[in-house]
Structure 1
């Protein structure tokens, strides 16, 4: 029986890895399409909220869709930066990267968690969740600032990078050498060497 379970687990792991790799390939090969899908889903959440007759339910569902969409946008941008070699994995400590990811997930999920707590347990539960989330964010930010000198700016700003620009940069190796993408903010800027080459 244990051999059967082990074999089933291995098969499941293989299938999950294949699905993950297929998704990574899709995102890296179709950045414009992924960007359009994200924008369409986010817009649909606003339309749903505006057109829904039940205000409480519409806000709840809209926040759920927005949180999920922001998390997917963050994951997709990280995939693109990694597959296009526009971000170096050795530039920062893996623990720091995990802290930044945790902070981003908390920030993107905060509004939805607050609404969920309010619906399930009332105002007291909602404020309890707000306090807990604020404490978690404060601890993560203090760790990043004081222990790793990583600054206070939100790592979630990496989602602001235009995916089409990422694709354009990656296809032109000469341009890649002349463009710097900030690790903390995701802002793109020309390097000094690019001005000399012109």
Structure 2
């Protein structure tokens, strides 16, 4: 039996073992995408209610919103396209989504000078902090008055307990200080020529990888190598500016460093080297460590599905 027949047999075996999970997996992805879209919409409504706009123009905010929507629905869209139109439709959808994301990111980088692109593009709202600030602010406004001459805010002692009377005056200052710190932490870092080239390489890496896949085939090492070289080059060029980055950008750099480990799980490296070792380790842990099988067995069944979804391991 040649390698092609072995691959076909392996795919049939994988389908038989994981087929029962496919429908529930697609449903879970639909729920995940819908929940993230609802959070995005709800955050926008809350920001308007709290008068906390993002520190950017309306047009830039719209681009970030569309980019967030694409990131939230890309996996489900790929799975739905594979279900409806098989492999040709699936790869067409993957290419279109990656091109759209690259165009939006290029516009953000060069037109709006948005610095290092983060994921997710719009940070979810910290509801506990924001709503607490609003409640405290409204409490101060309800029970205090402003002097006409001095402009000082005065709160009647009878409306507060002894502890509250000591703390109420600092609430407004703390809220304003937090707003200023958040603004500084979300302001993009200016990128020089080297950093701009590095970010451009990172943005265009998916397009180059897909083009290499189309030219060389999915079993070729060239797409894997080209993508890895582009990503490592981008990360190396940006590593010199890590100290000057804001909090979100540093978190993004840590995320990119961690995602480099995905190359161990990406084909053809995974098919040739990683798969046997990972499955052996999971089986060993399942057989000799009590309780690990509850996690390891589903993981072993899930790995083939994860491998087939482009936006899981290459997105």
Following TM superposition, where does structure 1 have runs of at least 4 consecutive aligned residues deviating by more than 4 angstroms? 182-185
- The one of 57, 73, 98 equivalent to 2:39 is 73
TM-score of the aligned structures, taking structure 2 as reference length: 0.39
Larger radius of gyration: 2
Alpha-carbon separation, structure 2, partners of 1:99 and 1:157: 10
Counterpart contact for 1:117–1:129, Cα < 8 Å: yes
- Other-structure match for 2:64: 100
Give the unaligned 5+ runs of structure 2.
1-18, 138-171, 189-246, 249-315
Q: How many aligned residue pairs are there?
A: 132
Q: Is the 8 A contact 2:65 2:122 kept in 1?
A: no
For the 8 Å contact 1:60–1:112, the answer to whether it is kept is: yes
In structure 1, runs of 5+ residues without a counterpart are 1-52, 189-198
Task: Tell me how large the CA RMSD over aligned residues is.
Answer: 2.3
**Separation in 1, partners of 2:81, 2:30:** 13
Q: Given that residues 36 and 72 in structure 2 are in contact (C-alpha distance below 8 angstroms), is that contact kept between their aligned partners in structure 1? A: yes
User: Which deviations, in whole Å up to 9, do the C-alpha atoms of 1:43-101 show, x marking residues without a partner?
Assistant: xxxxxxxxxx931110111111100000101111122122112226xx42221111111
**CA distance change for structure 1 residues 107 and 134 in 2, over 3 Å: closer, same or farther?**
same
Q: 1:121-177 CA deviation, whole Å, 9 max, x = no partner?
A: 112211111111111000000000101101312354422x33122201222341320
Which residue does 1:135 correspond to in 2? 99
Q: Write the distance in 1 (CA, Å) between the matches of 2:120 and 2:61.
A: 9
* Separation in structure 2 between the aligned mates of residue 156 and residue 162 of structure 1, nearest angstrom: 15
1: CA distance, partners of 2:175 / 2:58: 24
CA separation in 1, counterparts of 2:187 and 2:81? Answer: 31
The TM-score with structure 1 as length reference comes to 0.60
